[in-house]
Chain A
Amino acid sequence: MSENLLLGDEALAQGALDAGLSGCYAYPGTPSTEIMEYIQSSPEAAARGVHRNWSSNEKVAMEEALGMSYAGKRAMVCMKHVGLNVAADGFINAAVTGSNGGLLVVAADDPSMHSSQNEQDSRFYAQFALIPCLEPSSQQEAYNMAADAFSWSEQYETPLLLRLTTRLSHSRANICTAPAQAERALREPSNPRRFTLLPAIAKQNYQRLCEKQAVFAELSDKSPYNLYYAGQDCSMGIICTGIASNYVQEAFAGKCPHPILKISQYPLPQEKLARLLAECEKILVVEEGMPFVETQLRGPLGDSRILGRLSGALPRSGELNTRLVQAACGLPLPPLVQPSPLVLNRPPRLCEGCPHISTYEALNQVLRDYPAGRVFGDIGCYTLGALPPFNAISSCVDMGASIAMAKGAADAGLLPAVAVIGDSTFTHSGMTGLLDAVWENSPITIIIVDNYTTAMTGGQASLGYGKIENICLGLGVAQEHLRIFNPLPKLHDANVRVLQEEIAYPGLSVVIARRECLQTIRKK
């Protein structure tokens, strides 16, 4: 047993390294960030030369990993759940090409939205792409699954999706490790044409992918991760998936009288499922995230034997815990202290002296003259400008949306329209929106808050470092409307003037507010 307590993210990373990983590709995002960070700090990854640099965004990361798989080596690509939306084009089509070297796609979901915009459940993506999905219930399973995923990926020529959730990603436990495998050598794909998705080839590939579905279902039935526990009380059977199975085990203190089907691999294991459905009068489905299994079992008319998040036995949204499972099973509940009215919310705040504060103070002053003006925000530390005392932004939707939404609003006649976007978000997915605005010389003002880092997720490299103004100029922003200021309180008046001039200008302008994040300075 390893002496180290590893996060679920780290256990998976160590599992991948021990399984002969040659490249990890990722864009940071809570709660997935620590997978790549672990590999970056691993001496063995360094000694082996495992690829471990951040990518510009999740789509690029997905395609880089696919390229490594094409070359015959084992690759892993990691992202938070919404990152899979960005990577979706590469992801879905990688299922059609199939993999060569083992290809593992990791998406970390965030039920309860601890640090995300939504609660989307990545298992739907695996189903949509017609590929197997793994959902570990423990750090140990996360470790073990990496090696299995790579070998299944090579055997069946398919990428696999591994779905984590926040609670496992960010919880530590001691784990047992296995002997390390060697990395794979370069190897040609079995059929050299299957990566060229011209319609004629894609049709054949898709046909093969459809035929593999029965194989994947059989793999699920035989999987060491899908377990059937017999029970005498068949008035109810329980299906629990991933970490939700721990809550079920604890709710009954390990002595559950009901049959349990624990699922950690999809598509659904049909034989085991049929057995449970045949044995039990009703079925409680306990799953972390969206009602993925429950929806399939209930069917379009809502089979009343199936209980779970849709039937109201469990809350429709949010993280589960042992108590919620106890309540759903009608078990006695320990008494609870009522929440005290004295307790107030304590939201996160911008660090004292943060450059974003000075930018918002200048912007707010300028916009006082323009009550109709709106500021479209983006995702990063600067999103906290939505909260008091700034109340400075009107939107935060998805990475890169600030620029495109400002342009759309300006197209509609809402002026002035201002976008605020961080340097990392800009190179992630703001550059293409800027190109649209350049093409039409849209009358918007884009403020790039350049703190040299990806601060929100812990200060990872920002790949546009030192290149932001050249990127803007290269995309066609006019030199005289590309302005740079230093967001310091003592330069407030000068910064206000810059913003006044550019917001008054009836064409496209970009203002770079540039000062290093205090936290990255502190860590140096």
Chain B
Amino acid sequence: MKYDIVLAGVGGQGILSIAAIIGQAAVSQGLNVKQSEIHGMSQRGGSVVAHLRLGSAAIKSDQIAPGSADMVLAMEPMEALRSLEFLSPAGVLISNTTPVVNIGEYPPLPEVLSALQAHANSHLLDGDQIAKALGSPRAVNMVLLGAMAAFLALPEEILTAAIRELFARKGEAVIASNLKAFAAGRAAVN
């Protein structure tokens, strides 16, 4: 088994937490993991990308080559479009639809979304709206993680255990709201 995921978003949207949860879950299943994250100047509202590779055999490269990812997961639609070059033609695209408009001339959102929909296997969801409706507007990344879960070869209870572990220090209430967000995201793609 081999599964390559490109995670894209804007600095501060929590893609590294998603990567950490999936990575931890995969390790607990005895899989090999490589997770590459470019940080540096990016914590301040710039584009961020992480490459997450899972495999039953040893994984060589830390990077996923363009055109070969099994999944692109984006917290933001224009960032989804930016990372589309990594996706293999048969790959799954999952993207949040709420834009982060922190640049002067953000492209017309409907055009961005239809460019994403043009990909054969795309799943777009409004993670911000779903998280807000649950009363946990900051858990958008867990909504998106839930949406991914439908396609990952990792049992859901292993993922939820990794969520509990990641948020363990923040208390039961935080764990519960993140798990709810995860479940809502899971339900949003079927």
A: residues with CB less than 8 A from B are: 3, 5, 30-31, 114-115, 166-168, 170-174, 243, 246-247, 249-250, 254, 319, 321-323, 326, 333-340, 342-351, 381, 384, 388, 456, 458, 519
CB distance from A354 to the nearest CB of B (A): 9
Interface assignment of B98: CB less than 8 Å from any CB of chain A? no
Interface assignment of B87: CB less than 8 Å from any CB of chain A? yes
In the complex the two chains form, is A250's CB within 8 Å of B60's CB?
Answer: yes
Secondary structure class of chain A's binding surface, majority of residues: loop
Q: Nearest A residue to B34 by beta-carbon distance?
A: A173
Which residues of A are found within 8 Å of B3, using beta-carbon distances? Answer: none
**A172-B35, A346-B46 as given contacts; A334 in contact with B40, CB under 8 Å:** no
| Of B51, B61, B115, most A-chain CB atoms within 10 Å | B61
In the complex the two chains form, is B81's CB within 8 Å of A174's CB?
Answer: no
Q: A173-B62, A323-B68 are in contact. List 7 more A-B contacts (CB 8 A).
A: A30-B41, A172-B23, A172-B33, A254-B60, A344-B106, A344-B107, A381-B44
CB distance from B54 to the nearest CB of A (A): 11
Measured between alpha carbons, how far is A167 from B63 in the docked complex, in Å? 8
B: residues with CB less than 8 A from A are: 10-11, 20, 23-24, 27-28, 32-47, 51, 59-63, 65-68, 78-79, 81-82, 84-85, 87-89, 102-108, 111-112, 115, 119
In the complex the two chains form, is A173's CB within 8 Å of B33's CB?
Answer: yes
In the complex the two chains form, is B107's CB within 8 Å of A246's CB?
Answer: no
In the complex the two chains form, is B44's CB within 8 Å of A349's CB?
Answer: yes
**A172-B33, A340-B115 as given contacts; A321 in contact with B63, CB under 8 Å:** yes
Identify which of B33, B38, B40, B88 contacts A5 (C-beta below 8 A): B33
Secondary structure class of chain B's binding surface, majority of residues: mixed
Which residues of B are found within 8 Å of A321, using beta-carbon distances? Answer: 61, 63, 65-66
CB distance from A41 to the nearest CB of B (A): 14
Measured between alpha carbons, how far is A254 from B59 in the docked complex, in Å? 11
Measured between alpha carbons, how far is A345 from B47 in the docked complex, in Å? 8
In the complex the two chains form, is B41's CB within 8 Å of A337's CB?
Answer: no
Q: Nearest B residue to A31 by beta-carbon distance?
A: B40
**A247-B61, A249-B60, A344-B107 as given contacts; A170 in contact with B33, CB under 8 Å:** no
Measured between alpha carbons, how far is A381 from B105 in the docked complex, in Å? 23
Identify which of B41, B65, B87, B105 contacts A115 (C-beta below 8 A): B41
Which residues of B are found within 8 Å of A250, using beta-carbon distances? Answer: 60-61, 65
Measured between alpha carbons, how far is A351 from B47 in the docked complex, in Å? 14
Which residues of A are found within 8 Å of B11, using beta-carbon distances? Answer: 348
Measured between alpha carbons, how far is A323 from B4 in the docked complex, in Å? 15
Q: Nearest B residue to A383 by beta-carbon distance?
A: B41
Identify which of A168, A246, A326, A337 contacts B60 (C-beta below 8 A): A246
7 sampled A-B residue pairs with Cβ under 8 A: A167-B63, A172-B35, A321-B63, A336-B85, A339-B82, A342-B108, A346-B78
Which residues of B are found within 8 Å of A345, using beta-carbon distances? Answer: 103
Identify which of B32, B51, B66 contacts A174 (C-beta below 8 A): B32
CB distance from B128 to the nearest CB of A (A): 18
Measured between alpha carbons, how far is A171 from B23 in the docked complex, in Å? 12
Identify which of B10, B38, B44 contacts A170 (C-beta below 8 A): B38
In the complex the two chains form, is A171's CB within 8 Å of B41's CB?
Answer: no
Measured between alpha carbons, how far is A343 from B105 in the docked complex, in Å? 11
Measured between alpha carbons, how far is A166 from B39 in the docked complex, in Å? 9
Q: Nearest A residue to B24 by beta-carbon distance?
A: A5
Which residues of A are found within 8 Å of B41, using beta-carbon distances? Answer: 30, 115, 348, 456
Q: Nearest B residue to A30 by beta-carbon distance?
A: B40
Which residues of A are found within 8 Å of B38, using beta-carbon distances? Answer: 114, 166, 170
Identify which of B27, B87, B111 contacts A337 (C-beta below 8 A): B87
Which residues of B are found within 8 Å of A249, using beta-carbon distances? Answer: 60-61
| Of B34, B44, B85, most A-chain CB atoms within 10 Å | B44
Q: Nearest B residue to A168 by beta-carbon distance?
A: B62
Identify which of A319, A326, A346 contacts B103 (C-beta below 8 A): A346
